[in-house]
Structure formats: C-alpha cells, structure tokens
Amino acid sequence: MSMTDPVADLLTRIRNGQTAGKTSVTMASSKLKASILKVLKDEGYIAGYNVEEAAGKPQLTVDLKYFDGRPVIDRLERVSRPGLRIYKPAKDIPQVMNGLGVAIVSTSRGVMTDRKARQTGVGGEVLCIVA
C-alpha cells in the first residue's frame, strides 16, 4: 500500500520516538525528507541523520536530541497537507512563536527556514512548524 503523506509520516515518527524516549528512529528515505532533516539539524532540533542502504533501498536514521531528559522539540506540526496545500509569498510566511520556532518552507530554491525564505525573498509551500 502506498503512503499518501510521507512528510507527515516523518514528523509522526520523530514525535513518537521522542515520546517513547528513543535515541533514534528509522524510516524510508526520500530527497524531501533528507532536506527537511538537514534544516532540523542545522537549527539544532535533532542530533543528526544518515542515509543507509538496507535490502537495496535507502533508509533514513534520525538521531533524536534531548536536553535535561526532555525532548528538544516541543511542537512538531504539519501545515500543508495533500488535501490542502498552503502556499505563501515571502512576506506572508508565518513566524513561529515570534521567531523562537521555525517554519520549514519548500521553495523554488530548495527547502529552507522561514527566516531564510524571507531574507532571500522567495515564497513557497509551508511544510511544517517546529518549536
């Protein structure tokens, strides 16, 4: 059976892994998932990630990050979904918690944070919110 929303699956696996206190979670890999994880790593929300071959298919392993025994990510929400895509121009991209959180945006110049998208003046699809 095919998956209808792989990005929501990625976010749910991270959320569930942190709730269960896991050190890492594994899932099927894609370029979009890897670019979202790159943004999360650059912003300091995850410890790291790597792509490995398992049974001839690429697998993503995400190393989760904790501080004082609590997950670093408090809120991880999908904004745009297959049934309702949310596109915003650069000036209308939402600010998460007055700049304390991050909105991840898929633009024509790649996947980036809301701050970087506003800085470069490109809009796009708001994928998710992380705080």
pTM for the model: 0.95
pLDDT given at position 2: 66
pLDDT in tens, 6-49: 999 999 999 999 999 999 999 999 999 999 999 999 999 999 99
Q: Are 89 and 123 in contact (CB under 8 A)?
A: yes
Which pLDDT tens digit goes with each residue over 62-107? 999 999 999 999 999 999 999 999 999 999 999 999 999 999 999 9
Residue 1 has pLDDT above 90, yes or no: no
| pLDDT on residue 6 | 96
Q: How is residue 18 written in tokens?
A: 């942190």
Q: How far apart are CA 113 and CA 71, in angstroms?
A: 21
Left (φ > 0), alpha (ψ -120 to 50) or beta: where does 23 sit? alpha
